[in-house]
A and B are shown apart, each in its own frame.
Chain A
Amino acid sequence: MTLPRRAHPRPLDLKTGRVDLTHGGGGRAMAQLVEELFIKGFDNEALNQRNDQAAFDVPAGRMVMTTDGYVISPLFFPGGDIGSLAVHGTVNDVAMAGAVPLSLSAGFIIEEGFPLADLKRIVDSMAKASRDAGVPVVTGDTKVVEKGKGDGIFITTAGIGMVPAGVVISGDRAKPGDAILISGTMGDHGVAVMSQRESLGFETAILSDSAALHTMVAEMVAAVPGIHVLRDPTRGGLAATLNEIASQSGVGMLMEEALVPVKPEVRGACELLGLDPLYVANEGKLICICPEADAETLLAVMRAHPLGVDAARIGACRADTHHFVQMKTAMGGMRVVDWLAGEQLPRIC
Chain B
Amino acid sequence: MKYIDEFRDGQVAQSMAKAIAAEADPAGSYHIMEFCGGHTHAISRYGLEDLLPANVRMIHGPGCPVCVLPIGRIDAAIWLARQDGVTLCTYGDMLRVPGSKRLSLLKAKAEGCDIRMVYSTLDALKLAQSMPERQVVFFAIGFETTTPPTAVAIKQAQALGLKNFSVFCNHVLTPSAITQILDSPEVRELGTVKLDAFIGPAHVSTIIGSRPYEYFAEEYQRPVVIAGFEPLDVLQAVRMLIRQINQGRFEVENEFSRAVTRDGNEKAKSLVAEMFELRRVFEWRGLGLVPYSALRLKEAYAAWDAERRWDVPQDSPPDNKACECGAILRGVKRPMDCKLFGTICTPENPMGSCMVSAEGACAAHWTYGRFRDAEPGMPQGPEPEEEETE
Contact = CB atoms under 8 A, between A and B. Distances in A.
Interface string A327-348: 0111111111010011110000
Interface in A257-315: 258, 264-265, 267-268, 271
Nearest to B50: A333
B155 interface: no
A330 B369 contact: no
Contact of B49 (A200, A258, A333, A343): A333
Contact of A322 (B14, B17, B51, B371): B371
B57 interface: no
Contact of B119 (A200, A329, A331, A343): A200
A332 B50 contact: yes
Contacts of A332: 10, 13-14, 17, 47, 50-51
Contacts of A330: 8, 10, 13, 46
A242 to B, nearest CB: 14
Interface in B1-60: 1, 4, 8, 10, 13-14, 17, 44-51
Contact of B47 (A200, A334, A344): A334
A329 B230 CA distance: 13
Nearest to A264: B1
Interface string B199-237: 000000000000000000000000000000001100000
B81 interface: no
A164 B389 CA distance: 66
Given A258-B10, A338-B368, A341-B367, A333 B46 contact: yes
Interface residues of A, number: 25
Nearest to B12: A331
Nearest to B13: A331
A16 interface: no
Given A268-B1, A329-B45, A341-B346, A334 B367 contact: no
Interface in B323-365: 346-348, 363
Chain B contact residues, majority secondary structure: helix
B1 A265 contact: yes
Contact of B368 (A268, A328, A335): A335
A326 interface: yes
A131 B371 CA distance: 47
B371 A324 contact: yes
9 contacts: A200-B119, A258-B10, A267-B1, A268-B4, A326-B371, A333-B46, A335-B47, A341-B367, A343-B92
Contacts of B231: 329, 331
Given A199-B123, A258-B10, A264-B1, A336 B348 contact: no
Contacts of B346: 341
A293 to B, nearest CB: 28
Nearest to A252: B371
Interface string A72-89: 000000000000000000
B367 A338 contact: yes
Given A267-B4, A332-B10, A336-B368, A341 B348 contact: yes
Given A333-B46, A334-B47, A341-B347, 7 more contacts: A199-B119, A268-B4, A333-B48, A333-B51, A335-B368, A341-B346, A344-B117
B138 interface: no
A300 to B, nearest CB: 27
B370 interface: yes
Contacts of A200: 119
B133 to A, nearest CB: 18
Contacts of B1: 264-265, 267-268, 271
Contact of B46 (A271, A324, A335, A336): A335
Interface of A: 199-200, 258, 264-265, 267-268, 271, 322, 324, 326, 328-336, 338, 341-344
A200 B118 CA distance: 10
Contacts of A268: 1, 4
B374 interface: yes
Contacts of A336: 367-371
B73 interface: no
B95 interface: yes
Contact of A331 (B8, B95, B368, B371): B8
B96 interface: yes
B366 interface: yes
A243 to B, nearest CB: 12
A258 B46 CA distance: 12
Interface in B88-146: 92, 95-96, 117, 119, 123
A139 B278 CA distance: 67
A329 B47 CA distance: 7
> Lowest 9 CB-CB distances: which A-B pairs, in order?
A333-B47, A341-B347, A268-B1, A333-B50, A335-B368, A331-B46, A331-B13, A335-B47, A344-B92
A217 to B, nearest CB: 32
Nearest to A333: B47
A125 B366 CA distance: 43
Contact of B374 (A322, A333, A334, A338): A322
B97 to A, nearest CB: 12
A52 B265 CA distance: 68
